[in-house]
Structure 1
Amino acid sequence: MLLRPALALLATLALFACAPSPSDNGLRQALKEHPDMVLDALGERKSELFGLVVAGQNEYQDAQRQARQAEEFKKPLTPALDPARAFRGPASATTTVVVYSDFLCPYCARGAVTLKEFMERHPDSVRVLFKHYATDDLSKEAALVYEALAVQDPKLAFAFHDAAFAAQQEIEQAGAPAVYALAVKLGANLPRLRRDMRNPELAKRLDDDVAEARSFGIDGTPTFVINGVSVRGAAPIDEFEDVLRRVARSGGEEAPCAACDKKKQ
């Protein structure tokens, strides 16, 4: 959809640059009478044109991201933080990252690696609550296993989290049996796991997670909400750090990374 307007704009700019200063009316008339000439000229520079379109799209998306985050700094998103759920990281953490994710999404697997690095940089000040944006049956099955394991032991649930993302291809190929085999391999009590998975509250939890994400305008995975400000997609760690610094400044607090650096000195 962005290509056609971009082509028209580039064509206009090209004519302005090369033509002997025609009037606006003359330019419009030339475009109407000789569209083939414009297309021919652009066709000779496809790679440059494509590069400009891609650059324009990236600039547009970055502007949209900055505008969205600016609004969220003013009015942060407010995910439910149920203490009965599994949190990873210290309870005293000043920064909470709520993740909306899908165990079978390849971008979510990449995002999980970035989030792990982010937590390793800030071991004393960041905690994570993993939520689900699972929409197909196998993804929901894996999400339900995660929540049932969290009832047994939150550490077991996060071990499953890491292992499931690492074994995405095997799970997609083998289906639900691979999910259960992974849980057993990690030391899960299988009879208890199956019993807990029948708990309607856990199934409702998955539905509530999706509904909450959609209420925030989130329509893709992964999405990370850092103290109310969203980072969407498998973003680089620099974006996480940027949001963290800005959140700390807006709250009148020192960014955890700066505090950690002082301790090392």
Structure 2
Amino acid sequence: MFARTVLVMFATLALFACSPATSDNAVRQSLNEHPDMVLDALAKQKQELYALVLAGQQENQDAARLAQVDAELKKPLSPVIDPARAMRGPATAPITVVVYSDFLCPYCARGAATLKKFMERHPDSVRVLFKHYATDDLSRQAALLYEALAAQDPKLAFAFHDAVFAAQQEIEQAGEPALYALAVKLGADIPKLKRDLKNPALAKRIDDDVAEARAFGIEATPTFLVNGVSVRGAAPLEDFENVLRKVAPKGGEEAPCDTCNKKKKP
């Protein structure tokens, strides 16, 4: 790409200098004989060159993202939706967001905050199923506690979800005791919690979540599937709204929340 740009520059300069017509071969030969001229010119434009590289990378990422969304709109991903698992939001909601997340991932905490705002904008039409992409022992223990608490009460599990994301640094430093302290503080039935933590079905559920995410080509957390169309990373709220515009059932009540940010008149 840079060589092509330099060729255009040389050709343009030749025209404005009233020199004889310069063929591509002649320009290429000149560049081959004097590569230092190109390097010297580029060295004087480091900041501009770096900005061009970043802009090119962003364009490529945006194009890849759009292509991915188009492909998933044609063939949405199909995660397992087990109605027995903890859900946040109306059970009959037309939009289901499946989250693959790690309780100790800082980007996941940011993603959880954005998802909360998204749900607040669409309280009657979005529900969330939280799945796990636990990558280390402490993250896995947090995932097990979440599932064990969900066996007591889904609301308790999501309260734990919010509390863990809010206290990531403290948990990283204190380890498992901090996780159990949160469960106690939230009012969990501790004897039942201890029994459920030994349930092999919960450990298998976490393994199945990780396997499902990898089968979808998900390599990083957080990743959100909005009716099967992915929003990857700690994406801004508008990314969720953009996908919602595409997946919302036609003729249904769901639509982009165009007035959510407008102040209500008294």
Q: TM-score, normalised by structure 2?
A: 0.90
Please tell me whether the aligned partners of residues 134 and 140 of structure 1 are also in contact (alpha carbons under 8 angstroms): yes
Give the Cα–Cα distance (whole angstroms) in 1 for the partners of residues 9 and 160 of structure 2. Answer: 57
Cα 1:13–1:95 change in 2 (3 A) is same
Partner of 2:65: 65
**Which residue is 1:206 aligned to?**
206
Identity rate, percent: 68
Deviation, structure 1 residue 260: 9.2
| Partner secondary structure for residue 256 of structure 1 | coil
2:101–2:223 contact (8 Å) kept in structure 1 = yes
Which position in structure 1 is the counterpart of 2:13? Answer: 18
After the TM superposition, which residues 91-170 of structure 1 pair with which residues of structure 2 at under 5 Å, given as runs? 91-170=91-170
User: 1:46: which partner in 2?
Assistant: 46
Equivalent residue number for residue 238 of structure 1 = 238
Residue matched to 1:253: 251
Residues 3-33 of structure 1: CA deviation (Å, up to 9, x unaligned): xxx5445444443443446321122222222
Deviation per CA, 1:211-232, whole angstroms, max 9, x where unpaired?
A: 1111111111111100111111
Measure, in 2, the Cα distance between the counterparts of 1:34 and 1:58: 32
Does the residue aligned with 1:80 lie in a helix, a strand or coil? coil
| SS of aligned partner of 1:193 | helix
- Unaligned 5+ segments in structure 2 are 16-20
> Would the alpha carbon gap of residues 103 and 11 (structure 1) be closer, same or farther in structure 2, given more than 3 Å must change?
farther
Report the secondary structure of 2:129's partner residue: strand
187-196 vs 56-65, greater mean Cα deviation: 187-196
* RMSD, aligned α-carbons: 2.1
What is the aligned length?
Answer: 257
What do residues 103-139 of structure 1 show as CA deviations (whole Å, max 9, x unaligned)?
A: 1111111110110000000000000000011111111
Q: Would you say 1:90 and 2:90 are equivalent positions? A: yes
Given that residues 224 and 230 in structure 2 are in contact (C-alpha distance below 8 angstroms), is that contact kept between their aligned partners in structure 1? yes
How far residue 65 of structure 1 moved from its aligned partner, in angstroms, is 0.6
SS in 2 for 1:123: coil
- Bigger fraction of residues in helix: 1
Query: Counterpart of 1:81 in 2: which secondary structure?
Result: coil
User: How far does residue 160 in structure 1 lie from its aligned partner after superposition?
Assistant: 0.7
State the Cα distance separating 1:176 from its structure 2 match. Answer: 1.2
Q: Closer, same or farther in 2 for the Cα pair 1:223/1:255, shift >3 Å?
A: farther
Q: 1:186 to 1:13 in 2, by over 3 A?
A: farther
Unaligned runs of 5+ in 1: 1-5
Cα distance in structure 1, aligned partners of 2:41 and 2:127: 55
Contact 2:121/2:257, CA 8 A, preserved across alignment: no
Distance 2:129 2:29 in 1: 60
For 2:53 and 2:226, locate their aligned partners in 1 and report how far apart those are by CA, in whole Å: 31
AA in 2 matched with 1:246: K
Distance change (3 Å), C-alpha of 1:181 and 1:11? farther
Change (3 A) 1:25 1:102: same
Offset of residue 174 of structure 1: 1.2
